[in-house]
Amino acid sequence: MACFFIDAIDSRFDSVFGASNDYNFGIHWVFESCFANHENEQDMDESKIVLFQGTGKAWLHQRIEIPSPNRGEVLVRILGCTICGSDLHSVHGRRQVATPSVLGHEIVGEIVEFGDDAVRSAVDGSPLSEGNRVTWSVVASCGDCYFCQHDLPQKCSVAVKYGHNRYERTAGPTGGFASHCLLVRGTRVVRIPDELPLEVVCPSSCATATIAAAMEAAAIRKGDTAVVIGAGMLGLTACAMASKQGCANVICVERSESRRILSRAFGASLSLLPDQLPSVLAEATAGRGADVIFECTGANGAFVSAMDAVRVGGRLVLVGAVFPQEPIPMVVERIVRRNLAIVGIHNYAPKHLVQAVQFLELHWHEFPFANLVEKWYSLDQMDEAIEHAGDQCSIRIGIRPD
């Protein structure tokens, strides 16, 4: 698909952005030709954003004035953003997203400017200043609503979610497929240690922190047998974290051979095809089943397998099902009589992002996190990047503004 550059800050074009999401291709070409010579001249003062307009529609590339942080906001220059599986769900229409929007939420950036009254300290209390390399909680929360007051800031009733909200020109960009991002009030920031490569740390604000939250829910005990279903970014991270928490066995279940091999490098003691699990698990646990299972694929079949594989009194932690699925029949008695704990984990609290970055800092040499970003693309290459990210062989593809 073609890319179109237009200048969004010129007031003559207000009508284009006001009422409709359906941009007219003819208009794009006119704008492009109007500003053909204008683009390079203003590179230094401009910010780039790439707007998702809906499944099957071209990405809309815009150059806008570099946003100014309002009261309580922080302006960040984006260094890199990896493409999460949920970005792919949005792009391919498996879940609804408001358009136009700046997608991308696994972001690392550098602080450029603080707005008046902006918080100048990280989640751990350390000071923040211009030039710091940072990531931040995928959800900005108010701190006052019922959910914020009950340990679920990720479900804040007035949350701003990076890479998910409709783009409003007046509010500024809040997604990762851009050169700059505005951190709104209520965003919890974490500093990134200098030695952590971008490849390692970009996924921390989604996948790694979500698994940190899943680990808390799993309450692993030393010697446990954990099953991890799926060896994408979530599953590989779960294998690594479960292995460091003292599991006797970490059994990864994955259909892809290359991902099964990869899971062994991330701490899985065994890597199996789905139909191999019942017999292997029975042997490993004297027929009891797994103490804890992390379901990281979202597939109904994986949930059904997990229900069979978890032991009496075991914990089933559901992480992958972040897009709508067909309903499935379930005998509730099986949950009751087997004393199962089934918990869903969606997003995370700021403390989990701190844990995620700490985990990566401690263990990124031990597990090949640095190899999981197969390739970086520029903002001009969104189509190629999305296509590459959909390839089952790749775990992560990244976007860098320059």
Residues that bind Zn ion (CB under 5 A): 84, 86, 141-142, 145, 148, 156, 206
- DSSP 8-class letter at 188: P
Question: Closer CB to Zn ion, residue 149 or residue 339?
Answer: 149
Please identify, using beta-carbon distances, which residue of 141 and 269 lies nearer to Zn ion. Answer: 141
DSSP lists the bridge partners of residue 46 as 65
- C-beta separation of 308 from 287 below 8 A: no
**Minimum CB distance to Zn ion smaller for 62 or for 101:** 101
Q: C-beta of 205: minimal distance to Zn ion in Å? A: 8
Q: Minimum CB separation from Zn ion for residue 321, in Å? A: 13
Residue type, 294: F
- The least CB distance from residue 110 to Zn ion, in Å, is 21
Closest CA to 293 of 345, 234, 339, 250: 250
Query: Quick check: 249 and 269 in contact, CB under 8 A?
Result: yes
CB of 141 to Zn ion, least distance (A): 5
Nearer to Zn ion, 200 or 206 (CB): 206
Contact 207, 231 (CB under 8 A): no
Task: Tell me how far, at minimum, the Cβ of 374 lies from Zn ion, in Å.
Answer: 17
Q: What is the DSSP letter of 373?
A: E
- Is residue 95 a contact partner of residue 86, using CB atoms and an 8 Å limit? yes
User: Given the complex with Zn ion, which of 237 and 305 has the nearer CB atom?
Assistant: 237
Q: Kindly list the strands in the beta sheet with 290-295, ordered across the sheet, starting from the edge strand earlier in the chain.
A: 270-272, 249-253, 225-229, 290-295, 310-318, 341-344
CA distance 104 to 106: 6
Kindly tell me which of 105 and 260 has the beta carbon lying closer to Zn ion: 105
Taking the complex as a whole, the smallest distance from the CB of residue 94 to Zn ion amounts, in Å, to 13
Which three-class secondary structure state does DSSP give residue 108? strand
What 3 state SS string does 230-250 have? CCCHHHHHHHHHHHHCCCCEE
From the CB of 22, what's the least distance to Zn ion, in Å? 27
* Rounded CA separation 78/175 (Å): 10
For Zn ion, the closer of residues 141 and 208 by Cβ is: 141
**Looking at residue 84, what DSSP letter applies?**
P
247 or 386: whose CB is closer to Zn ion? 386
CA dihedral (177, 181, 186, 189) positive or negative: positive
Cβ of residue 34: shortest distance to Zn ion, in angstroms? 37
